Amino acid sequence: MKLTKHLAGVVIASTCLCAPALAQTRLTMWYHGAGNEVESRIINQIISDFNTSQSDWTVTIESFPEKSYNDSVAAAALAGNLPDILDVDGPVMPNWAWAGYLQPLPIDESEFADFLPGTKGVWDGKLYSVGLWEAAVALFARQSTLDELGLRTPTLDKPWSREEFMAALEAAKASGKYEFALDLGMNDQAEWYSYAFSPFLQSFGGDIVDRSTYKTAEGALNGEAAQAFGKWWQSLFSGGYAPGTSEDPADQQTGFIRGKFAFQWNGNWRAVATMEAVDDVVFLPAPDFGAGNKIGAGSWQFGVSAKSKHPEGAAEFIKFAAQDKYLAAFSDGIGLIPPTPSAAQMTKNYKDGGPLAVFFALSKAQALVRPVTPGYVVQAKVFTKALADIANGADVADTLDAAVDEIDADIESNGGYSHR
């Protein structure tokens, strides 16, 4: 009898203790960072903090390898198996929103007023996603190289013009000290081409697609400015300034460090490793080819799946994760740019006077998001192929015209992608 009473007491007590946990509604979340130890540690910490900070929701995470993440999400969407919270690459977001994978965030955009523009995923006038970091590219160089070649150090206010940039490449080539004057990372023919190289086209005055309507690439990708860009682009390879598409992948990681290249067009995710290896590395802003100096914007962001039955819980988690302390933790951990000025001040690299603070300024001043259209996922592939072909000697006008035809055909076959 005594034992029965004890057991009953234990059961009642454990039931009471478990009550708050039972009341929590489970939210599932998918993340692209499997295999990234630092990202995993931080995101798991955020989830743990969130789960203990309130009693309504409990988030569980499933991580995927980045390379196959989009395919996994597309397959799960087909099978009706999406989670509550998804992370999505910025330029892909409009496609997922249009395809019905995402629903608008039930959060007022004003809550992210101080976030860098590229970290906010807006499609069709609605906020769909928010990023906890931003990425930027810059021209990596050595101060000693600039000095030796007698080059002016470009600044955000006064970047190199096209002539100055080409003169710098020519000087580096003429010095005979480098295998190539410039490394563009041409072996990486995934998202890198549209992210890193379309800003050059935009700086010439062209674009991947006509952003005023998003219904054609005619004029934007094959107009006068785009033709000029194409010819310049081809000259980088025909003139022997940069290695072409058959570049050794290893060179993008170590070529600049080993002194094979005078300049390298690379992302801030390579900045920390480069700083550790090259004492006098400097990160220079993009050249201005006539229509302003531009770099790409938009990295991974969090959104709410269209299938989620608890968008308010998912939104609560996203707001929680967007606290400055977590933005700073991500930045310190993976080296990317924190989205807010206040978070930047909490980081070791991006605070005022920090070694990478220039990237925050670059992103704020030069960043242009890739075309905000569901058709971007196709347009990026067409653009990549066109640039690779031109680099390999294809006729510029014909190649750009063919790219325009392909992009326009895709837009037409998808009914204009809902652009009004």
Partner 1 sequence: MAFNPDNHGLRLFVRYLVLCLIALIFIFPLVFMINSSFKPDSQLLADTSSLRAFLPVGDISLNNYFGAFRRAPVGLFVLNSVLVTGATVLLSLLICSLAAFSFAFLRWKGRDVLLSIVIATLIIPFETIAIPLLLLVSKLPWIGLDGLHWGWLNTYRVQIIPWVADGLTIFLFVQYFKGLPGELIEASRVEGANWWQVYYRVVMPLSGPVLATAAILKFLVMYNQYLWPLIVVQQESYRPVMVGLGYFFQLNVAWGEVMAYLTLITVPVLIFYLLLQRAFIASIASTGVKG
Q: Does 36 bind partner 1 (CB under 8 A)?
A: yes
Please state, in angstroms and rounded to a whole number, the distance separating the CA atoms of residues 377 and 8.
60
The region of 146-154, 264-272, 300-308, 342-350 touching partner 1 under the rule CB under 8 A is: 264-272
Q: Which of 5, 80, 125, 415 binds partner 1 (CB under 8 A)?
A: 80
By beta-carbon proximity to partner 1, the closer residue of 36 and 161 is 36
Question: What residue has token string 């160089």?
Answer: 141
* Type and span of the H or E element at 3: helix 2-23
What residues contact 155, with CB distance under 8 A and at least 6 apart?
Answer: 285
CA distances, 127 to each of 31, 117, 141, 214, 275 (Å): 19, 12, 37, 19, 36
Q: Does 60 bind partner 1 (CB under 8 A)?
A: no
By beta-carbon proximity to partner 1, the closer residue of 116 and 336 is 336
**Total residues contacting partner 1 (rule CB under 8 A)?**
29
For 8, phi then psi, to 5°, come to -60, -40
Q: Which of 24, 72, 216, 345 binds partner 1 (CB under 8 A)?
A: 72
Q: Does 18 bind partner 1 (CB under 8 A)?
A: no
Q: Which residues lie across from 279 on neighbouring strands?
A: none
- Min dist. Cβ of residue 70 to partner 1 (A): 11
Among residues 298, 296, 276, 295, the alpha carbon closest in space to that of 287 is found at 295
Q: Does 250 bind partner 1 (CB under 8 A)?
A: yes
Q: Which of 216, 235, 253, 345 binds partner 1 (CB under 8 A)?
A: 253
Q: Does 267 bind partner 1 (CB under 8 A)?
A: yes
253 torsion bin: left (phi>0), alpha (psi -120 to 50), beta (else): alpha
The region of 12-20, 62-70, 287-295, 314-322 touching partner 1 under the rule CB under 8 A is: 62-70
**Residues making contact with partner 1 (CB under 8 A):** 30, 34-37, 62-68, 71-72, 75-76, 78-81, 248, 250, 253-254, 258, 267, 269-270, 273
